[in-house]
Structure 1
């Protein structure tokens, strides 16, 4: 189903566009499909990657890369770990790339999320990834506990110690009630030492792969 929604998202890209290239398994399929369209239709399309992974995939599939220093983003295509059905609020950052994802996605003229139906939930409950400066991890964890959260440091699987992001920082995953996502997104970011958190509240539409086809959700 992921491939179906990736193909559908690739159809949204028009000649001359600058595209935000998301991170994760579904976004990776989109990057591959976009590369195929560029080659087959001889499109002039530029990509702005949101992670080292999406950068390498774009280079592999022949998508020319530019940066936010040079261009505005016409459309960003990205995945999500969880989507709240009614609000279209998201949790992202399971892959540790949410800081650059949010920078690119929030600055796009249109932000489109691509997921399969297993990611659609009635209420957000996925642990919130919080990227923090290494020097501040202890005090940030204390603040998150004071807010009613249960924070843990994300540990690496094939190295000892914590996961280190593309930006050289650590990630704290915090489980907590999300009753007001907009306020909580700002409240977490206001903690000194926090770089960015994985609550996303500015989404234009969500393409959902279901057994019956592609469903479009809008606010």
Structure 2
């Protein structure tokens, strides 16, 4: 059952409405929905407006939080977050340190996979937004720290950095990682990528950089072909500690 205050998606005719179950109403061009009624419903059912128009109920997944959660900046794309998870082998036994939280979208994805996530955001106002997004995602294994990753203590299986990376960040990540653990960095520019690679080479094994490019298929009556728009988003560098 849907609980009071839980985030829910209401869908009709291709439109999605990101709402909170409980007191209040949703006004649309198809009529008004009493959001209290959601707490007597289950995902997959429909709920009607006062005009009798049905809206489909869906519980948000991480991809939906990417689309609808409050943002403090441009988050990593789901395809890039997926690369981090795949290349590090992130799994339910892992303790993960995430730095450069932003809106918390990457942490939401990581929290659904790993045993625990501690995410650092140096800007307090951003950390507040992240905490709210994490709470609305229903993740109890993600801790948001308003502070500098360079002050982090403990040991981790994966360290992920999405911030203005310096040599100090790479050295500290190495110190925090358990043997066999992975460092993964997201950098939008080559200059930052070179800092990561040059600093990581003497410290880690298997330092590999991946350029992140995605291209969709375009279908028309004439036929199907790759889109001419190439979507470059950035670079992920992955390094393993011996």
User: Above 0.5 in TM-score?
Assistant: no
Alignment TM-score, normalising by the size of structure 2: 0.36
Higher strand share: 2
Q: TM-score, normalized by length of structure 1?
A: 0.39
Query: Could you say which structure has the larger radius of gyration?
Result: 2
Q: Which has the higher contact order (CA 8 A, sep 6+)?
A: 1
